[in-house]
Amino acid sequence: MKKILVLCGLLFLPMQVMATAPPAEDAGKLDWSVQASWKISVKPLDFSHSLDNKLVYVLGDDSKVHIYDVKGKKKGAIPVDKSTVAIDIAPRGEMLFLIDQNNTYTAIDISFTQNIDVSGSPFLGKENAPVTMIVFSDFE
């Protein structure tokens, strides 16, 4: 019987310690600083930030998802249905997920192309080909 009473006392000990803990506002000092701030060109309805800290997606009231880098430079915009109410993205921002008021889920693959000036460079094939493949062969 004594063992049971001692065991019960030990189980209730953490509750007594928690009850006497200081209030949260006395627990320590809160430090914070603004890391980035920039104007958005539309009224935001929803947003999502990539986990790799490279892209910010903003659902605007103009029925577009505006894509910015973390410094506020606009990288593009994707038109979406007017009934879109929420967005989310894959961790690296390579997929955009939409939910609308019509109970529709949409997944959109996102990729960015980069224009590279190849004028004056040696080439094979037609000079005005619609696609150019660049090989960086001087790197090891």
> Residue 97: inside a domain, yes or no?
yes
DSSP annotation of 91: T
CATH code, 75: 2.40.10
Query: Based on the structure, what is the number of domains in the chain?
Result: 1
> Residue 76: inside a domain, yes or no?
yes
Across the range 16-32, mean pLDDT stands at: 66
pLDDT (tens digit, 9 = 90+) per residue, 67-101?
A: 999 899 999 999 999 999 999 999 878 899 999 99
Tell me the backbone φ, ψ of residue 38, rounded to 5 degrees.
Answer: -155, 155
**pLDDT surpasses 90 at 66:** yes
| Cα 5 to the center of its chain, rounded Å | 53
> Residue 22: inside a domain, yes or no?
no
> Residue 34: inside a domain, yes or no?
no
DSSP string, 15-49: HHHHHTSPPGGGS-------------SS-EEEEEE
